[in-house]
Structure 1
Amino acid sequence: MVRYSHAVDTHQWELLDEIFTPDAHIDYTAMGGPAGDVESTKKFLATVMPNFSAFQHLISNSSIRVDGDHATARTMCHNPMLVTAADGTRRLMLCGLWYHDTFARVAGEWRIQQRVEEKSYMFIAPDAVPGS
């Protein structure tokens, strides 16, 4: 789960191939994104993430259940981001969500087989960030 946050925050999209199973389904629709496979997710992230000048995918409070070579988890994510408005000012955007993950052990390593986001909150500050 931490590797996913690291991959997204460092724009290392190729790491997603090691994090997800080849047949993984990723659903970002609750937060306004698409649903699809790993390749379409990498393309989406490569397109959307440059719109943010700063971001951190902070995860915590994981509840994990393991059953043999499969597991499920519900993990909290707090994602502060700076988004550039049409007028060039930057605004603070706060996203809170839950990741609902299904894992499979593949060749001895845990990989995400399904990720579904559940929206908790989204807030865009009305005032520009100082120094914008």
Structure 2
Amino acid sequence: MTQRVNLATVMDRLAIDDVITGYAVAVDDSDWTGYRALFTPDGRADYRGSGGIEGAAAEVADWLAETMQLFPVRQHLIVNRRVRIQDLGGYPGDGADVQADYVNPMRLESGDDFVSGGRYAFGLVRTDGGWRLRSVTVHEKWRHAAFLAAATD
């Protein structure tokens, strides 16, 4: 691999990381226009693994805008990002997959905390406008809400 290819790969990884961070910030800040802009026109999001819906990114953004009103405070922490850029015989391609763990603390209007964690699977594609999401899938592994535990005691 040449130094130029290595630099291109590093630049791609930084751009992909920026998209993933933009995703978290858009959801946490209720920036649904920004959320939609992160996706390709045919991009999809699948939140069924955390009790949500699956569909076109624009449709899911509308659902998130409504649902996230329950949580006026939220913060995505997306870590352990494993980026795999398509390999075209030693040269980076126009597709990438990212697996990343998340912890998502949120606070309800009542003041009760709700925290969940799991793994995202992001599919990205290089477009004329830069890297964009073609898919997001949430795989929730755990959740904790003290108020729910107290209600079952």
**Does the alignment reach a TM-score above 0.5?**
yes
| Alpha-carbon distance in structure 2 between the residues aligned to 1:101 and 1:95 | 18
Which residues of 2 match residues 1-132 of structure 1 at below 5 A?
A: 1-67=20-86, 68-84=93-109, 89-107=110-128, 109-126=130-147
SS in 1 for 2:30: coil
Deviation at 1:108, TM superposition (A): 5.0
Tell me, what secondary structure is at the counterpart of 1:101?
A: strand
Q: Which has the higher strand share?
A: 1
Mapped to 2, the partners of 1:41 and 1:53 lie a distance apart of 18
TM-score of the superposed pair, with normalisation by structure 1: 0.88
What runs of 5+ residues in structure 2 fail to find an aligned partner?
1-19, 87-92, 149-153
- Detail structure 1 runs of 4+ shifted over 6 Å in the superposition: none
Asked if 1 retains the 8 angstrom alpha-carbon contact of 2:36 and 2:61, the reply is no
Please name the residue that 2:151 is paired with: none
Spell out, residue by residue over 1:73-100, the C-alpha distance to the aligned partner (whole angstroms, 9 max, x if none).
Answer: 101111001124xxxx421111102110
Structure 2 distance, partners of 1:53, 1:47, is 11
Please state whether the residue corresponding to 2:147 is helix, strand or coil: coil
Give distance in 2, aligned partners of 1:126 and 1:35.
Answer: 28
CA displacement 1:35-71 (0-9 Å, x = unmatched): 0001111111110111112110111100010010000
User: Number of paired residues?
Assistant: 123
RMSD of aligned Cα (Å): 1.3
Q: Structure 1: where are the runs of 5+ without partners? A: 128-132
Q: Distance in 1 between matches of 2:23 and 2:135?
A: 13
**1:97-129 residue CA offsets vs partner (Å, 9 max, x unmatched):** 2110111001151111011111111110138xx
User: Per-residue deviation at 1:11?
Assistant: 0.8
User: Identity, % of aligned pairs?
Assistant: 30
Letter in 1 for 2:128: A
User: Which letter maps to 2:98?
Assistant: A
Give the number of the structure whose alpha-carbon radius of gyration is greater.
2
